[in-house]
Structure 1
C-alpha cells in the first residue's frame, strides 16, 4: 500500500497565538495507512540543517523546506509519509520539527512541547546540533531535562504526577536516539587514540564527580540522555559545501557536495533505515498510521487543556478506539467469510453451525490481531454478543430460505392434485383411496427434491395439515367405505400427523441443544485464541523487560566505572523492580485471571450460558496448567 504524498504536510501547527493544533489533512493521510509505521523525528536548534537530513531520508532532494536565511522555516511539526525503502509492508513517517530557540518567536514556551511531541510520536529521534558536543550543546538540549516535568507515565486520581516514576517507565515509551553533529571540524581522537563517533558521544556524556550546583547542572542533561535514551548513536558531518553554496544547498547536485559529506549522509540514512523499528506502545503493540494520528490528537488535546500529557492515559484512549474498530473489523471478516461459505439452506443445523464456527474463528483472529489492553474483556464480550446475534440471524435466514424453497416445491408438485380436487375428481365412490394415493405421490416426489434444507419436514407437515379438511370431506362422502372404515381411516390420519409433529419437535429440541453446545464451543474458541494472544503478549513483555534490564545493567556498569556508587545503587533498585515485574508476568495467574474474566463476561453476553462458565473455564485451565 502506497500513500501518494508528493510533499510534506503540516501535522501539528504552532499557531501565532502559541497554540498547538493537529491538522485534519495530515490526519486524513494517516487514517489511510493501515500498515505499521516507522516514525523518525528530527529536533534541534533552528537553522541547523534538520530539513536537509529529512529530505535525504525520504530519498528526495527537495520536500521539507530548507530556507536560505537566518529565519526558521519549519513551524510546528511537518510530516512526510513515504514507502519504507528497506521494510516491505511498512510506511516511513518523517517528522520535521520547528527549530528550537528561534529568537524571532520571543516566547519559547512551546519549544519544550514540540520536543516532547517529537519524542512521544517517534520510534527514532534525531537530535541535530552544530559544531561539537560541548557544554553549550548540552545546555541547548535542556528540553530533555524538562521531559519528566512536562510528561507523566501513569494515570492517577486527579491527574497528579505519581511519585516513584523511574526512567524505566519512560523508556517504554521513548524512541532510539541519534545525535547528528553538523559542520564537525575536530579529529575523532581521545588521549592520542582514534575513537568512533559513538565513543565520542559516550565520552561527552560522562558525568562530573561532586555534589556542587555546578556539577549538578553539568550532569543533569547527561543523566537524562543516559537514562531516557539507552539506545543511542552518533554521526558527525563535515560542512557539505563551501560557505557561499550553503544558501542553495537543495539546488546543488550530488557532484557539487563534498564526497566525505555524501559518505557520512549515506551512512546516516542507512543506519536510520536499517535500525529504526516500527513505532510501538508498551507491550509491543505495533502502531499504524491511524493509531499515530489518534495519539497525536490525544497528546495535543492534553497540552492545549493545560494538563500534563499522560502516556498511559493516551495508550488507554487509543486502545478504546482501536478495540472498538477491532470489533467492527472482526464482524466484517465474519460476513466476508460467510459470503464465501457453503450455499444456503443447509440440510442440518450442525452443518450450519460448522459454517458459523469457521467464520467466527477467522473473525476472532482478526480481532485478536488488532485489539490490545482489553483488560476487562469488554470488547471481546461485545464481539461475542455480535457474533451470537450473527448466528441467530444466520439461523433465521437459513430457515427462511429453506421454507421458501420447500413451499415453492410443494406448490408446484401439488398443482395437479389441487386442480383435481377443485374439479371434484375425488368426490365419487372410491375417491378417498385415489386421493390418498395422489397425495402420497406428491409427498414421495417432494422427498426426492434436493436442497430443501432444514425446514423440509416442518413445511411438509403444514402442507398435509392444509389438506386435512379436504381429505375429511372426501372421506365422509365416499360411499364405498363403511362407517367403521371411515372412523379407522380418520384415526390413522390423526396418528400419522401426531407422529410427524413429534418428529419435528424432536428435531427442534435437538437443534436447540446443538445451539447451546455451540455456545460452549464458541466460548472455548474464545478462550483458546485469547490464551494464544496472551502468551504472545507475555513473550513481548518479557523481551521488553529483558531489553530494559540489559540496558540498565550496562548503564550501571558505566556508573560504577566512573565512580558514581550512589547513582549505581539507584540503578540497581530500578533493575530489581524490572526483575520483579518480569516474575509477576511469568506467573500462571497473569493469564488465568484474564481467562476467568472472559468466563464472567461470557455468562452475561451468551444466552443460556450462565452457570456453565466456571466449569468451562476450569476445564480449560486444567489443560493449560
Structure 2
C-alpha cells in the first residue's frame, strides 16, 4: 500500500461500516499479520507515531488545525521491518473526546474495535500520567459490556487477558524527571506506580472509581509498557511535522521515538485468537466485519462466536482454493496419456503437497479436521478420476495403433490367406511383425501391454481355426497374461503408496501448524500466568485478601491448562482425528470394495480383475 485507506467508516446514528476497498486489500494478504492500533484523545499526535512505525512518509494525515483529521479507523499495511513474511497492519483511530462529536458511545465503539482487532494497543496521551489521564481510560472498564468471551462467560477477566493485545502507553511532550523519592525510575515503573490500587480509610470518596479503572487495566492487559517522549519541536515547527526530517527534531525525542518503534517492531506479536491461532490479512478483514456487525446491532461482540463464524467461512474457502489449485496444476502438467503411472503419480504428489500447504496456511480453527478431511477425500476422487481418464485415453490410443499396425494381418484373415498349408507360420510372422511395430511407437500410455495382451488373447481364438496345435502361440498368450498381472500389481502398489504418502504429507504439514499454534498458546498462557503471579504479589503486599483468593484460583487454572497445552504439543488429538479419517480412506481405496485401483483397468465396461480371471482354455 502506498497510502492508508479507511477500514471502518463512521455512519449515521453511531453506526460503523467496513469499507470494501480495505477488505479487498486484506484479502490479498495471506501472510500472518501484526496489528498495531493507536488510540487516544484527538490532536495528540497518534498519526505521527504510526508514520514512524511504518518508516514512511507521507502516510496518515497529520493535520495542522485543532480539528480532528482522522474519522473512523484507517489502515496502512506495510512489510514488517523485522519479521520476514509478515505484514505490519497499522490502525489509526479517530480521536477520542472530540468536542464536535460529543458522543461517548461512538468513542466507545472505536476503542472497542481497536482492542479487538489489534495485537498491540498504543494509548497516546499528553504531559503526564495522572488521575485525569487515567479517567480518560474509563473505556476499559466498559469493555466487558461490549465484549463477551463465550456463551458461558467463564472467568471473563482472565479470558480477556488471554486474547487482548499488549498495552503500550506513550506520554507525549513529557517534561518531568523520571525520579521518585530521589531515585531514578524507568518509564515502566512510572506506569505501574500510576496503576497501583489505593486502600486507605482516609482516601477520598471517589477512590473506588479510581481503583476500578486501574484494576480494569491490570485485569485485561497482561503486558504493559510505557514510553515517555519530549516535545519533538517548537510550536511553529510542529505545524510542519510532515515535512521535517529527524535532523530538524529534538534529538532526545528522536531517540525516544526510535526506542518506541524498535520495541513495537520486535515485541508486537502476530494477531491471534484464543489458543494461539494466528490470523492472516484475509482473516482480519472478515473479523472486522463480524465485530462491526455485532457492535452496530447493539449486542456484545462474542469472541467465541466470531471465531466459529470465521473458521467456517475461512476453511470452506481455503478448501476450495486448494482443490482449484490442484485441478489447475494437474491440467497444466499432465499430458494424457502418461507413459507410465509413476509419471502421473509424481505430478500428483507435487500438486497435492502444494494444495495441502495452501489449505494448512489458510485454514483456521479446523479443530475436528472436518474440512481437511473433506479436502483429502476430494483430492483422492480427483486423482482417481484422472487415473481413469489416463487409462481410457491410453486404451483409445493403443487400439488406434493396433488397428493400424495389424491392418495387413487383419486383411489376410478376412480373405483367407492363412487358411492353407503352412499358413499358420505366415500368420505368426505377421503377428510378430505387428507386435514389433506396435511396441516401437511412443505415447501409448499406461495400458500399452494390457491392450496388446487383450488383442493377442483374441488372436489366440482365431489361431485355433488356422492350426489345431499351436502350443507355441498359447505359451506367448500365457506370458502376456502374466505380464498383465504383474503390471496390475505394480500399479496397485503405486496407488497404495500414493495414498499412504498423501496421509503422511497431511499429518506432517498439520503437525507443523499445530506446533506453531501450541507454541503461541503456550506463550499466551505464560504471559497471562506471569501477569497473574506478579499481580498476586502486589495484592499480598497491599493486603487485598479477597482479591488474592480469587487470584489463586485463576493461577491454578492457568497452570492446569498450560500442562494440557504441553501434553498437546506435537501431533495431538486433533491430528489423530485426521489420521483416522485418512487411514480409513487408504483402507477403502485399496480394499476389494474400493474402486480406485480396479477402475484403472476398467476396459469395455468389465472390470480388469474379471478380464484377468477369464483366461482362454488351453488347446489340446
Q: Same fold (TM over 0.5)?
A: yes
Instruction: Determine if the alignment matches structure 1 residue 64 to structure 2 residue 60.
Output: yes
What does residue range 330-479 of structure 1 map to in structure 2 within 5 Å? 330-331=322-323, 334=326, 345=337, 353=345, 356-357=348-349, 359-418=351-410, 425-426=417-418, 429-447=421-439, 449=441, 452-464=444-456, 475=466
What corresponds to 2:264 in structure 1? 272
In 2, are the aligned partners of 1:388 and 1:606 still within 8 Å (CA)?
A: no
175, 182, 189: which one aligns with 1:192: 182
With normalisation by structure 2, the TM-score equals: 0.84
In 1, are the aligned partners of 2:30 and 2:362 still within 8 Å (CA)?
A: no
Are the structure 2 counterparts of residues 335 and 441 from structure 1 closer, same or farther at C-alpha, using a change threshold of 3 Å?
same
Distance 1:279 1:150 in 2: 20
In 1, are the aligned partners of 2:222 and 2:527 still within 8 Å (CA)?
A: no
Gaps of 5+ in 1: 157-161, 476-485, 613-625
What corresponds to 2:602 in structure 1? none
What corresponds to 2:75 in structure 1? 79
Displacement of 1:344 after TM fit?
A: 6.3
What corresponds to 1:89 in structure 2? 85
269, 272, 281: which one aligns with 1:289: 281
Displacement of 1:442 after TM fit?
A: 1.4
Moved more, 350-359 or 220-229: 350-359
Are the structure 2 counterparts of residues 591 and 119 from structure 1 closer, same or farther at C-alpha, using a change threshold of 3 Å?
same
What corresponds to 1:135 in structure 2? 131
Q: Matched residue of 1:81: which SS?
A: strand
Are the structure 2 counterparts of residues 319 and 611 from structure 1 closer, same or farther at C-alpha, using a change threshold of 3 Å?
farther
Are the structure 2 counterparts of residues 273 and 599 from structure 1 closer, same or farther at C-alpha, using a change threshold of 3 Å?
closer
Displacement of 1:246 after TM fit?
A: 3.6
Q: Matched residue of 2:163: which SS?
A: coil
Displacement of 1:537 after TM fit?
A: 3.7
Q: How many pairs align?
A: 590
Are the structure 2 counterparts of residues 103 and 545 from structure 1 closer, same or farther at C-alpha, using a change threshold of 3 Å?
same
What corresponds to 1:483 in structure 2? none
Instruction: Determine if the alignment matches structure 1 residue 241 to structure 2 residue 237.
Output: no
What corresponds to 1:619 in structure 2? none
181, 205, 208: which one aligns with 2:195: 205
What corresponds to 2:292 in structure 1? 300
Distance 2:407 2:194 in 1: 98
Displacement of 1:227 after TM fit?
A: 2.1
312, 315, 335: which one aligns with 1:320: 312
| CA offsets 1:516-555 (integer angstroms, 9 cap, x no match) | 6754564455445545544554344233322321222122
What corresponds to 2:552 in structure 1? 572
Displacement of 1:561 after TM fit?
A: 3.0
Distance 2:567 2:266 in 1: 36
156, 167, 178: which one aligns with 1:177: 167
In 2, are the aligned partners of 1:377 and 1:601 still within 8 Å (CA)?
A: no
Q: Matched residue of 1:129: which SS?
A: strand
Moved more, 233-242 or 523-532: 523-532
In 2, are the aligned partners of 1:81 and 1:91 still within 8 Å (CA)?
A: yes
In 2, are the aligned partners of 1:166 and 1:574 still within 8 Å (CA)?
A: no
Moved more, 120-129 or 358-367: 358-367
Q: Matched residue of 2:74: which SS?
A: strand
What corresponds to 1:214 in structure 2? 206
Distance 1:88 1:514 in 2: 39
Distance 1:244 1:439 in 2: 102
Distance 2:269 2:497 in 1: 45
Moved more, 201-210 or 531-540: 531-540
Are the structure 2 counterparts of residues 68 and 302 from structure 1 closer, same or farther at C-alpha, using a change threshold of 3 Å?
same
Gaps of 5+ in 2: 593-620
Are the structure 2 counterparts of residues 101 and 611 from structure 1 closer, same or farther at C-alpha, using a change threshold of 3 Å?
farther
Are the structure 2 counterparts of residues 209 and 538 from structure 1 closer, same or farther at C-alpha, using a change threshold of 3 Å?
same
Displacement of 1:261 after TM fit?
A: 2.7
Q: Matched residue of 2:299: which SS?
A: coil
Are the structure 2 counterparts of residues 250 and 346 from structure 1 closer, same or farther at C-alpha, using a change threshold of 3 Å?
closer
